[in-house]
Each structure stands twice: as structure tokens, then as C-alpha cells.
């Protein structure tokens, strides 16, 4: 029996040699035979580009052509697919992406910011040219949630997608709880250990999560990406007292990205939330990512794993390369860009739920009556109330959990409380995850 014909290798131009880029080099080398058998052809690196040619990365880069200007990878005749691992929503990464597609080459990226801001335009260019554009590594690292939404759940109407999409925030909140440390202490230690950037704003202010959530929402609901429509709140205001009170009430605080599709509208929010201890999200500790999606026929599916780092993210990049080597093209967002719906943002007036409220108040008679009167005036009832204090400052802490109420009413009650002279610092409100 004649041997099967040997297909030519899929040749890669790799831009970016940080942790993920180095991981891609190692993975393609270490698992070369397995990858070739699964892809139906070898996958090899032809050329690479990075900012520092002389940095010791612990890799043998001699077999690869070195390109100082990453955008030149798009024009090389020995490159079939460009892998963009530079990062950033604009600049060299976007220039490279555009030139790659214009040159008739496939593109793989781990760049969630670029996809969140420019994904629709890049997808339209890829579709027009009949080229693959893959970005599994852009959301949740090695967790294959992009493929799950675009392929595994393709027959379902998805009502809700939500989860923990930032490992740095999950790491900080986990350590605050388990080691009873304050936010500033854990953040400083995370920066020293390399878990958080020197400027951690993208992580702790929820922007990184918002980038990823807007991508998931587009895939889940067949919608146009609306990053600007994500209401974003980070974890800077979370105190150890909140961690303790949440635990006493049967919850764990997590930074949750939530997107819902209901009545033709799109709701997107990143916010610290109280998650019941028996919910799967509550069990995702440390730097893990976790995503849940709810389909009308399949029900709730749950995905958990390492959302960042050399190995998991490189695994997602190479999985995309294997799909391309097999000849898969598809639409980057599961359907043509022209078919994606421009969903209006859901009005906050429609939001209902239970809420955790924390207030710092003057320790004097009548304060509790003032607080409860503000809630009564706006039709919000209290499920539980805890008072702690006074602290060294002379102020007391009051924690309340509401019954189900309209969010505008809760916000109005908080504004009324804050307008008086009994509340001595800005009130804190967190949502309770009840699904």
C-alpha cells in the first residue's frame, strides 16, 4: 500500500518572545511529532522577531531567521501564518495584524485588547480574503472557551456567560481571604513575585476582564463587540472586612465578568461580587480562570483552568495553529461580521438582585434608624444586618444584605445615606451572584 503523501510544513512567523512566545517555541519543539500527526503536517517556525535580540531566553534560536521589524514577517515568502504575541490594542501589534491579512496570510493572536478594540475590522478583512483569524489564547489562556462558544455551543441560544477572567485579581482576593492580608499588602507582594505588573491598573481596575468579556459576549450572543458598553468596576475598594463579612454570610468575593442577552439587549458588567460558597466559581482559587455559559439546550457548562502563563497560553496558540494546518478557516466570531447584531445596552432600570452594602458611620444613637429609613424610602428591604465597631477612628462599620430589589432603588438609597452626616466615607455596594 503506497504511503500517504507528505504535506508541506505550515511555516510560522513568530512576533514576540516573552513568556508566551518562548512557550510556543518550546511546545512546537518538544511535541513536534505529536503535533504533526494531529495537524496532518509539520508545524515549524521560519522567522522570529522580538525587541531584544541579545536577551538570553534559554532557547536555541539559531535555526530561525531573525527579523528586527516584526511587521516585516507579513511579507516573508517563507511564512504562511503570523503569530502575534506583542500585545497592546494598537501600535506594532495592530500594524502587523493588518499587514498579515493584507498579505494573504493567516493570523493567530493572544491579544485580547486588540481583538476587543479592532476585532470586527480584522475579522471582516479575514473573511473577505478567506483567511483564518484565531485568538483562543486571548481569553482564559489554556481554557478552550472560545472554541466552546463558537463551536461546541453553536446550536444553542446562550442567555448568559460569566466568570473569573483575570488571574491576578483572583490571586489577590484568594490570598486576602486565606492569609487575612490587606489589599495593598497582597498587591505589593504580587508585584514583587511577578504575578502583577508594576502598573497593575489593567488588572485590578477590571479593564483586562472587560476586554475578555466583550469578546465572549460577541461569540455567545452573535453580537458586535461593544467594549465601551462594559460597565467596569475593579477590586481596589475591597477590604479585608468585606472578605470576612462575606465569608460569615456564606459567600466568597470574586471579580466577576457578566454578560447577558435578554429581550434584544446586551448587559455587560465587570464587578466584585459575592459568590455563594457552593457555586463552582467560588472554588476557583489562586490564579485560576473559570467561565460558565448557559445554553437553552445544553444547560450550564463550566470551564476552569490556568488563564495565563507560558504553558497554558502557548497551548492555546498552538491549538489554533493545528486547526489552521488542518485547513480550518471559519468565521472569527462564529458567523459573518455582517450577521452580528448591534445590540443596544440593557437599561440599568431593569436590573434586580440582592446587594451587599458596607458603610462606615459615626458611632452615635440613631444612625441605624437613618440608614434603614433611607432603604425604606426607596422600597428596599433588609435581609440581614451586622454592626461592627467602633474602630480606633471612633467610627463603626455597618454591613447589610438586601432582599431582591431594583438596582436604581438601592443606588438611590445609598446616595441618600451618603448625603447625610452620619456616613463618614463612600459606601461600598457589591452584587450577589444568585444564579
End-to-end CA distance of the chain: 58
92 and 126: one domain? Answer: yes
The predicted pLDDT at position 365 comes to: 87
Last residue of a domain, one of 138, 163, 186: 138
Reported confidence tier of residue 6, pLDDT bands at 50, 70, 90 = low
Q: Distance between CA 88 and CA 68 in Å, rounded? A: 18
The predicted pLDDT at position 3 comes to: 47
Q: Distance between CA 344 and CA 329 in Å, rounded? A: 30
Residue 431 has pLDDT above 90, yes or no: yes
Q: Distance between CA 112 and CA 117 in Å, rounded? A: 9
Last residue of a domain, one of 111, 138, 165: 138
In a domain, 92, yes or no: yes
Q: Catalytic: which of 105, 112, 212, 254?
A: 212
How large is the average pLDDT for residues 104-115? Answer: 97
In a domain, 160, yes or no: yes
List, for residues 159-168, the tens digit of each pLDDT value. 999 999 999 9
Reported confidence tier of residue 102, pLDDT bands at 50, 70, 90 = very high
218 and 254: one domain? Answer: yes
149 and 39: one domain? Answer: no
Q: Pick 19 or 122 by higher pLDDT.
A: 122
Reported confidence tier of residue 392, pLDDT bands at 50, 70, 90 = low
149 and 259: one domain? Answer: yes
The predicted pLDDT at position 2 comes to: 45
Q: Where residue 427 sits, what CATH number does that domain have? A: 3.30.70.260
93 and 160: one domain? Answer: no
152 and 45: one domain? Answer: no
Reported confidence tier of residue 5, pLDDT bands at 50, 70, 90 = low
Last residue of a domain, one of 73, 108, 138: 138
Residue 40: domain span: 10-138
In a domain, 318, yes or no: no
In a domain, 237, yes or no: yes
List, for residues 68-100, the tens digit of each pLDDT value. 999 999 999 999 999 999 999 999 999 999 999
In a domain, 222, yes or no: yes
111 and 157: one domain? Answer: no
Q: Where residue 53 sits, what CATH number does that domain have? A: 3.40.50.720
Q: Where residue 178 sits, what CATH number does that domain have? A: 3.30.360.10
How large is the average pLDDT for residues 44-67? Answer: 89
Three-state SS letters, the chain: CCCCCCCCCEEEEEECCCHHHHHHHHHHHHCHHHHHHHHCCCEEEEEEECCCCCCCCCCCCCCCEECCCHHHHHHCCCCCEEEECCCCCCHHHHHHHHHHHHCCCEEEECCHHHHHHHHHHHHHHHHHHCCCEECHHHCCCCCCHHHHHHHHCCCCCEEEEEEECCHHHHHHHHHHHHHCCCHHHHHHHHHHHCCCCCCCHHHHCCHHHHHHHHHHHHHHHCECCCHHHCEECCCCCCCHHHHHHHHHCCEEEEEEEEEEEECCEEEEEEEEEEEECCCHHHHCCCCEEEEEEEECCCEEEEEEEECCCHHHHHHHHHHHHHHHHCCCCCCCCCCCHHHCECCCECCHHHCEECEEEEEEEECCCCHHHHHHHHHHHCCCCEEEEEEECCCCCCEEEEEEEECCEEHHHHHHHHHHHHCCCCECCCCEEEEECCC
List, for residues 263-312, the tens digit of each pLDDT value. 899 999 999 999 999 999 999 999 899 999 999 999 999 999 988 888 89
299 and 256: one domain? Answer: yes
Average pLDDT, the chain: 93
- The structural domain count of the chain equals 3
Q: What percent of the chain has pLDDT over 90?
A: 83
In a domain, 324, yes or no: no
Reported confidence tier of residue 249, pLDDT bands at 50, 70, 90 = very high
Q: What percent of the chain has pLDDT over 70?
A: 98
List, for residues 179-205, the tens digit of each pLDDT value. 999 999 999 988 887 778 888 999 999
In a domain, 329, yes or no: no
Least confident of 27-36, 202-211, 257-266, 357-366: 357-366
In a domain, 320, yes or no: no
128 and 150: one domain? Answer: no
195 and 267: one domain? Answer: yes
Grid coordinates given for 384: 440581614
Residue 4 has pLDDT above 70, yes or no: no
Residue 393 has pLDDT above 90, yes or no: no
209 and 116: one domain? Answer: no
- 212 a catalytic residue: yes
362 and 298: one domain? Answer: no
Amino acid at each position: 500500500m503506497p504511503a500517504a503523501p507528505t504535506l508541506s510544513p505550515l511555516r510560522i512567523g513568530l512576533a514576540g518572545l516573552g513568556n508566551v512566545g518562548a512557550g510556543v517555541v518550546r511546545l512546537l519543539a518538544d511535541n513536534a511529532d505529536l503535533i504533526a500527526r494531529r495537524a496532518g503536517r509539520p508545524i515549524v517556525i521560519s522567522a522570529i522577531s522580538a525587541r531584544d535580540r541579545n536577551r538570553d531566553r534559554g532557547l536555541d534560536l539559531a535555526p530561525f531567521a531573525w527579523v528586527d521589524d516584526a511587521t516585516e514577517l507579513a511579507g516573508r515568502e517563507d511564512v504562511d501564518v503570523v503569530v502575534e504575541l506583542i500585545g497592546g490594542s494598537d501600535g506594532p501589534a495592530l500594524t502587523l495584524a493588518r499587514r498579515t491579512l493584507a498579505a494573504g496570510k493567516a493570523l493567530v493572536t493572544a491579544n485580547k485588547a486588540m481583538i476587543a478594540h479592532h476585532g470586527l475590522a480584522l475579522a471582516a478583512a479575514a473573511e473577505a480574503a478567506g483567511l483564518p483569524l484565531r485568538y483562543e489564547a486571548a481569553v482564559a489562556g489554556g481554557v478552550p472557551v472560545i472554541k466552546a462558544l463558537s463551536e461546541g455551543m453553536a446550536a444553542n441560544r446562550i442567555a448568559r456567560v460569566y466568570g473569573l477572567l483575570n488571574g491576578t485579581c483572583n490571586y489577590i482576593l484568594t490570598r486576602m481571604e486565606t492569609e487575612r492580608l490587606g489589599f495593598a499588602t497582597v498587591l505589593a507582594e504580587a508585584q514583587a513575585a511577578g504575578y502583577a505588573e508594576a502598573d497593575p491598573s489593567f488588572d485590578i481596575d477590571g479593564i483586562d476582564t472587560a476586554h475578555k468579556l466583550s469578546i465572549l459576549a460577541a461569540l455567545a450572543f452573535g453580537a458586535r463587540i461593544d467594549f465601551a458598553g462594559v460597565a467596569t468596576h475593579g477590586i481596589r475598594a475591597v477590604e479585608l472586612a468585606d472578605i470576612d463579612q462575606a465569608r460569615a454570610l456564606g459567600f466568597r468575593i470574586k471579580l466577576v465578568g457578566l454578560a447577558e442577552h435578554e429581550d434584544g439587549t446586551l448587559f455587560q458588567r465587570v464587578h466584585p461580587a459575592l459568590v455563594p460558597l457552593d457555586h463552582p466559581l467560588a472554588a476557583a482559587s489562586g490564579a485560576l480562570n473559570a467561565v460558565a455559559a448557559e445554553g437553552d439546550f445544553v444547560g450550564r457548562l463550566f470551564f476552569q483552568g490556568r488563564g495565563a502563563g507560558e504553558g497554558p497560553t502557548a497551548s492555546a496558540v498552538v491549538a489554533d495553529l493545528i486547526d489552521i494546518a488542518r485547513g480550518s478557516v471559519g468565521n472569527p466570531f462564529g458567523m459573518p461580521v455582517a450577521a452580528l447584531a448591534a445590540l443596544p445596552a440593557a437599561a440599568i432600570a431593569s436590573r434586580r438582585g440582592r446587594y451587599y452594602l458596607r458603610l462606615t458611620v459615626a458611632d452615635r444613637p440613631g444612625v441605624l434608624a437613618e440608614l434603614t429609613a433611607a432603604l425604606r424610602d426607596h422600597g428596599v428591604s433588609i435581609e440581614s444586618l451586622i454592626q461592627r465597631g467602633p474602630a480606633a477612628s471612633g467610627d463603626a462599620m455597618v454591613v447589610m444584605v438586601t432582599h431582591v430589589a431594583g438596582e436604581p432603588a438601592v443606588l438611590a438609597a445609598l446616595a441618600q445615606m451618603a448625603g447625610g452626616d452620619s456616613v463618614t466615607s463612600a459606601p461600598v455596594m457589591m452584587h450577589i451572584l444568585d444564579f
